[in-house]
Amino acid sequence: MSWYYEMNPPRMGGAYKRGLQKSYKITRPSMACFKNWLDSNLTQVLPKSPIGAAINYALNLWSFFEPFKTDPRVELSNILTENKIHPVAIGRKNYMFKDSHQAAKRAAW
């Protein structure tokens, strides 16, 4: 998927900015090509091998690509969201070991 990220780096404000239609016209056929590759190689590899497991994983989750394939505003990656909630998750773990409720509140704010 590196080809996708080179063409469409995650950006604030959603995928509908800066050249959306151009990248969308390129991305949809690329995704179709990838799906064809998955389908054709599924029978060529052992299902329990690492590549077989990866192909099965991708095919089992393929329905989740539908919004991405049909709506150009949908980002393929959720990295921007994950970056936003990362400090909250880290903080939650850190605040768990504060000595008192007041100390935890001070550390959180």
pTM, to two decimals: 0.58
Q: Are residues 62 and 31 in the same domain?
A: yes
Which range of residues forms the domain containing residue 60?
2-77
Q: Are residues 55 and 103 in the same domain?
A: no
Q: Are residues 73 and 84 in the same domain?
A: no
How far is the C-alpha of 52 from the C-alpha of 42, rounded, in Å?
7
Distances (CA, A) of 66 to 38, 69, 70, 88, 104: 16, 5, 6, 30, 43
Q: Are residues 16 and 59 in the same domain?
A: yes
Q: Are residues 59 and 83 in the same domain?
A: no
Q: Are residues 72 and 102 in the same domain?
A: no
**What is the amino acid identity at position 32?**
A
How far is the C-alpha of 93 from the C-alpha of 87, rounded, in Å?
10
Q: Are residues 91 and 44 in the same domain?
A: no
pLDDT in tens, the chain (109 residues): 666 666 666 555 554 555 566 666 777 788 889 999 999 999 999 999 999 999 999 999 999 888 777 776 777 777 778 888 887 777 776 666 666 777 667 666 6
The total of structural domains in the chain comes to 2
Q: Are residues 11 and 62 in the same domain?
A: yes
Q: Are residues 18 and 70 in the same domain?
A: yes
Q: Are residues 68 and 82 in the same domain?
A: no
